[in-house]
Amino acid sequence: MAQKSQIHVPDQPAVFENFPHAVKAEGLLFLSGVRPGSGSNAPRQFSGLPETGREKQQGFDLVDRYEGHVAHDSWHTHQNMDAVLEAGGSAGDQVLRQHIWQSDKRFFPVYQNIRKVLQKIPSPSSGLGVTGIFGDPAGTIGIDAIAVCPGENPDFPARKVVATYDDEELPAASFYSQAVRCGPLVFTAGHIPIDTTQKGNPLVNSFDDIPEDGRFLQTGQSHPDSRDGPIAAQSWYVYNELKRTLENEGLSLADTINSTVYLADIRDFPTFHRIHRHFFPDASPALTVTGFDEVGHRGCLIEIELTASANDAKFEKSYTAWPGDKPFYAPASARSGNLIYYSGIQGIDDRCNIVTDSKDLKAQSNDRKYYRDRPEEDHPVIHQSLAAIELLSDIADRSNSHIEELVKLTVYVGDAAHFSIFENIFLDVVPSEKLPAIECVVIPAPGPVPESRIQLEAIGICTT
């Protein structure tokens, strides 16, 4: 039976006071969200950094205001992440996946400069523009990550970079590794629809930009094709490149156990979904779809990251069906070995309707105490949080696990204040010694439909 342990680092900032800095399971380390922390009373500027962090500095206070703030946050966030990694028995060169939340992607070049200093061999990453950095209202950068602890589990040895940022076949759009391998698992970076093999790195933006076999949704009429064409072509291109990345490691898309999809416009979800079904005709991986302020750059509408698992007797794949109607083309969870990836969990009933009234909740979840002293506008968040936690618990049980065996939980919300509503309920369900690593991401569209107020993305371990 798999076991997990919490990592608490006393001298590190606690973004989530009730949760651990990280959770270790199976020789893997799952980090909660990391922020720069308050540090000293010094301003968030170049002056708070060593010389190696001041490459962008021009020496004029007003000019340096924007970039100095981002450089400061980037430096201290990475240093805090490294401290948690070390406390958990890992290191910066063992990060398997990293999310970079940015309150303003205009200043991504500043972050990249800092990263080149502090993370010489970059991890696979997804860099997304968010509404704000949860837990740090003045912040510009937040990070969460998964890493391996070499030597702790022979099934998960030290990280191996299998597709570098300067890969000849498909160079990365910036300084991040395209994919890494850890035993049977392959973690990809977030891939975007920029053709880095062509001069000028053109954006894929229409059916004309992809081969004939990718144009199966094309109608030949300008109006529908101008609406569906950009997201259809970009989705096809990204999945096709991910397919090539996996094939270079002897895997196929059928080996994918989890797909996390970031959209710039959540209204593109239905058209993306048609492309997704095309690439996974037999069985879809666990799937989470959310809508961000900005994905990729220069007109990107989508970013996709995959986790795949090679065929191995110890890592046989299995899938858990939804307890009610299927909300989209994906299982409720996908398992490889003792790891369980859950599809995005929303506050829905068995008919896939967003819960809008407390009377639609099951009796054991309909506790009026959560509604006391809360304004009416908070009630939809309470309804959906109760329903989502109940659904996640049900799916965990069906997956031969338990909600107490989650190792990582990402909570997507449309308003930072909504996290406390969710947290209040979650802490009543999961005891403190069993809490997972956690991250909260504030974005325009927490779920794939406009009514979604909250969505949960989770990783757990099998208990039997």
267-281: pLDDT as tens digits: 999 999 999 999 999
So what's the pLDDT on residue 168?
81
* C-alpha pair distances (Å), 274 with each of 39, 233, 256, 332, 433: 47, 11, 18, 19, 42
200: left (phi over 0), alpha (psi -120 to 50) or beta: left
Q: Does residue 5 surpass a pLDDT of 80?
A: yes
In the chain, which segments carry CATH 3.30.1330.40?
A: 1-158, 188-311, 323-464
Q: Is the pTM of this model over 0.85?
A: yes
Provide the percentage of residues in the chain whose pLDDT is more than 90.
Answer: 88
For residues 445 and 266, the answer to whether their CB atoms sit within 8 Å is: yes
- Looking at residue 435, the DSSP 8-state letter turns out to be P
For domain 1-158, which CATH number applies: 3.30.930.20, 3.40.50.720, 3.30.1330.40, 3.30.70.980? 3.30.1330.40
Beta strands 22-25 and 333-336 are: unpaired
So what's the pLDDT on residue 38?
62
Q: Which CATH class is domain 323-464?
A: alpha beta
Tens of pLDDT, residues 161-199:
999 998 888 888 999 999 999 999 999 999 999 999 899
Q: How confident is the model at residue 363 (pLDDT cuts 50, 70, 90)?
A: low
- Report CA torsion sign: 160, 162, 163, 167: positive
Q: Which CATH class is domain 188-311?
A: alpha beta
> What per-residue string of b and e applies to 75-96 under the rule 16 or more CB within 10 Å gives b?
bbbbbbbbbbbebbbbbbbbbb
Q: Out of 38-42, 62-66, 190-194, 417-421, pick the least confident.
A: 38-42
Contacts of 453 (CB under 8 A, 6+ apart): 347, 380, 381, 384, 413, 414, 418, 446, 447
Name the residue among 1, 29, 149 with its Cα closest to residue 407.
Answer: 29
